[in-house]
Amino acid sequence: MNQSLAHRGADDSGTYFHGKAYLGQQRLSIIDLAKGHQPMSYTHQGKTYTIVYNGELYNAAALRERLKRYRVRLRTNCDTELVLKMFAWEGPRALQRLNGIFALAIYEKATNRLFLARDPLGVKPLFYSLKNGALAFASEMKALFQHPSIQPRVTMDGLRELFGIVPARTPGKTVYADIKEIKPGEYAWWQDGILTTKTYFKLKSQPHTQDAAATIKTIKTMLNRVVQNQLVSDKPIGFMLSGGLDSSAVTALAARTGQSFKTFSVDYVGNADHFQPTDFSPSRDNYYIDIVSKQYHTQHSYQVLSSADLCATLREALIARDYPAMADIDSSLLLFCRAIKPAITVCFSGEFADEIFCGYPWFYRADTAHATTFPWAIDLTMREQTVAQPLRAKLNLRAFVNRTYTAAVAAVPLAPTDSPADRQMKIYSYLTMCWFGLNLLERADRMAMRCGLEVRVPFTDIDLVQYVYNIPWEMKNYGGHEKGILRAAVADLLPDEIVNRKKCPYPKTVDPVYTALIEDKVRALVAQTEHPVWQIVERAYVAQVLNTTDPAQTRPWFGQLMQRPQYLAFIYQIAMWLVEYKVILDL
Q: pLDDT tens, 275-304?
A: 877 666 777 889 999 999 999 999 999 999
pLDDT exceeds 60 at position 481: yes
Over residues 10-38, the pLDDT tens digits come to 899 999 999 999 999 999 888 877 888 99
Supply the DSSP symbol for 31: S
Statement: residue 117 has pLDDT above 80: yes
Predicted pLDDT at 123: 97
- What's the rounded mean pLDDT across residues 38-53? 96
Domain 212-366+429-499 is in which class? alpha beta
CA distance 355 to 364: 14
**Phi/psi at 336 (5° precision):** -60, -50
The pLDDT-based confidence of 141 (bands split at 50, 70, 90) is: very high
In this structure, are strands 180-181 and 237-240 parallel, antiparallel, or unpaired?
Answer: unpaired
| pLDDT for 446 | 98
584 C-beta neighbours (distance < 10 Å), count: 15
Residue range 108-131: average pLDDT?
A: 97
Amino acid identity, residue 162? L
What integer pLDDT is reported at residue 553 of this predicted model?
Answer: 58
Query: What does pLDDT average to over the chain?
Result: 94
Where exactly are the structural domains of the chain? 3-199, 212-366+429-499, 512-585
pTM comes to 0.96
What mean pLDDT do residues 441-454 have? Answer: 97
Dihedral pair phi/psi, residue 157, rounded to 5°? -65, -40
Check whether 421 has a pLDDT greater than 70: yes
pLDDT digits (tens, 9 = 90+) for 333-370: 999 999 999 999 999 999 999 999 999 988 988 878 77
- Lowest-pLDDT range, 210-214, 399-403, 414-418? 414-418
Q: Cβ distance 100 to 79 under 8 Å? A: yes
From 129-143, 441-455, 457-471, 553-567, the region with the lowest mean pLDDT? 553-567
Average pLDDT over residues 57-75: 95
Query: What is residue 33's predicted lDDT score, i.e. its pLDDT?
Result: 77
How far apart CA 10 and CA 8 sit, in angstroms, is 7
d(CA 310, CA 303): 13
Cβ atoms of 171 and 184 within 8 Å: the answer is yes
Residue 313 has pLDDT above 90, yes or no: yes
CA angle at residue 413 from 422 to 170, to 5 degrees?
110
Give per-residue pLDDT as tens, 160-198: 999 999 999 999 999 999 999 999 999 999 999 999 999
Q: Answer whether residue 412 shows pLDDT above 90.
A: yes
| 3-199 has CATH 3.40.50.720 classification | no
- Asked whether the predicted pLDDT for residue 555 surpasses 70, the reply is no
Q: What is the pLDDT of residue 34?
A: 80
**pLDDT number for residue 355:** 96
pLDDT(159) > 70: yes
Give the up-direction half-sphere exposure of residue 126: CA atoms within 13 A in the CB hemisphere. Answer: 27
Q: Where are the beta strands (DSSP E) in 29-85?
A: 40-44, 47-57
